Amino acid sequence: MSVTDDSVSWILLIFNLPAKQASERVEVWRKLKRYGALPLQSGGHLLPNTPHTLEHLEWLAAVIRKYKGQASVLHVQSVDDCPDVELRRRFVDARSKDYEQLQSELKKLLKSRTRPAGALGRIRKRFAEVSVIDFFNSPLRSRVEALLAQVERVENPTLESQRQAQRVRKEYLNRTWITRPRPGIDRVSSAWLITRFIDKNAKFVFDTDASRYPTAVPFDMFQSGGFGHRGDDCTFETLCREFRIRDTKVQAIAQIVHDADLEDEKFGRAEGVGLDRVLVGWAKQDVGDDELRRRGMQLIEGLYSAY
């Protein structure tokens, strides 16, 4: 979360905890590190003043008081023994060290012939965490982004054959698509993708046996044929590849759907887990299949709009 205002103001957390509260003190320090707070030599932890950072520190101050400690959150215009330009530099240096570590890990992945399962997902998750607290735009961020893209290209080479690359979308216009009942995150997302990017007039039916609808296009069915999981891809990813959907927001959603559906933490995307639990909850309320699809598509459309 970048701070673009040149005349930035600051917030300062000053606290103390009883000596016997060692584990609580460690917990507070870990949270401050996660928030990207800068420790001052004279005491206290500093952050640029934004709604999010203020909320973090006010909440942490409340936790400290709950632990029988004392805490104050101060609004500060300047620090007399450290000019703003120096404070900014210290924040940038801290994030640059984080990016350097990620850079080193990504370079090792590129050189390695065998990559540990989930390694890229963990790095992507850490990169997202660092980016949130990169308040003053470390120049190393763009290098790490480029390395991430490079590793992803190596790990996920294009699998489309020439026949797939030449697939004509008009073959799938005004068609009925069939999938299994009680759709979850992968299937409602796929239905959204079909309607949004392949055929806005698509119709959907739910059945366990695709042979009952011989003209329908199967997706995420247990029988062979149609569009489903292929290799390491979920159905949503398969559709993206088959129909050459390159929208960057869709690619982000594909990672979210993959991690929620396959639970392998490949991309380090946790957002989809909550969406999937909502769908499970609706299913337990006996919401009909088509209504589940409709509500799920609305969730995905909201996620797409948020990006």
* pLDDT tens column, 187-215: 999 999 999 999 999 999 999 888 889 89
Q: pTM for this structure?
A: 0.56
| Residue of 216, 199, 169, 193 lying closest to 293 (CA atoms) | 193
Q: Give all strands (DSSP E) within 127-266, no chain letters.
A: 176-179, 203-206, 217-218
How confident is the model over 227-271, as pLDDT tens digits? 999 888 999 999 998 888 888 899 999 999 999 998 888 888 888
- Say if CB 191 and CB 293 are below 8 A apart: yes
- Provide the Cα torsion 211, 217, 219, 225; round to 10°: 60
Over residues 28-42, the mean pLDDT reads 93
The region of weakest confidence among 109-118, 156-165, 229-238, 278-287 is 156-165
The CATH number of the structural domain formed by 10-76 is 3.30.70.240
C-alpha R_g of the chain: 24
Instruction: State yes or no: pLDDT of 94 exceeds 50.
Output: yes
Q: What is the pLDDT of residue 242?
A: 87
CA distances from 134 to 38, 39, 51, 220, 259 (A): 12, 16, 15, 40, 25
Helix, strand, coil percent content, the chain, rounded in steps of 5:
55, 10, 35
Q: Report domain extents, the chain.
A: 10-76, 84-155, 162-306
Mean pLDDT for the stretch of residues 271-283: 88
Q: How many H helices and E strands in the chain? A: 11, 7
What is the pLDDT, as a whole number, of residue 2? 60
